[in-house]
C-alpha cells in the first residue's frame, strides 16, 4: 500500500514541476532568432567595414576632379611692387 502512495506522490510532483511549455520547445523556438541575430550582426559589421573602405577611397583623392587654375600672365596686374 505504501509503494502505491509513493508512486502517486512522485507522479504528482512530476506533474506539478513541469511547466506549461517543455524546455525543449523553448530552446527550439529561441534558436532561429539567435542565429538570425548572429548572421545579421556579421552582415552589419561587413557593411560598416565596406562603407569605411569606400569612404577612404573617396577622401584619398584619386577620383576627385582636378581644378584648372589660371596661369599668371605677364601683365602689370600680376606683379607685386
pTM, to two decimals: 0.46
Separation of alpha carbons 24 and 31, rounded Å: 11
Residue 9, pLDDT score: 61
Residue 45, pLDDT score: 98
Separation of alpha carbons 56 and 49, rounded Å: 11
pLDDT at 6 over 50: yes
Residue 12, pLDDT score: 57
- Summarised one tens digit per residue, pLDDT across range 15-53 is 555 568 888 888 899 999 999 999 999 999 999 999 999
Average pLDDT along the chain: 77
Domain segments of the chain: what residues?
Answer: 29-62
Separation of alpha carbons 66 and 63, rounded Å: 9
The answer to whether 63 and 57 are in contact (CB under 8 A) is yes
Amino acid at each position: 500500500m505504501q509503494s502505491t502512495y509513493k508512486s502517486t506522490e512522485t507522479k504528482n510532483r512530476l506533474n506539478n514541476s513541469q511547466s506549461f511549455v517543455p524546455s525543449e520547445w523553448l530552446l527550439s523556438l529561441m534558436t532561429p532568432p539567435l542565429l538570425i541575430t548572429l548572421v545579421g550582426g556579421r552582415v552589419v559589421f561587413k557593411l560598416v567595414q565596406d562603407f569605411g573602405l569606400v569612404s577612404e577611397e573617396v577622401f584619398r583623392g584619386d577620383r576627385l576632379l582636378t581644378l584648372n587654375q589660371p596661369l599668371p600672365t605677364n601683365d602689370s596686374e600680376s606683379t607685386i611692387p
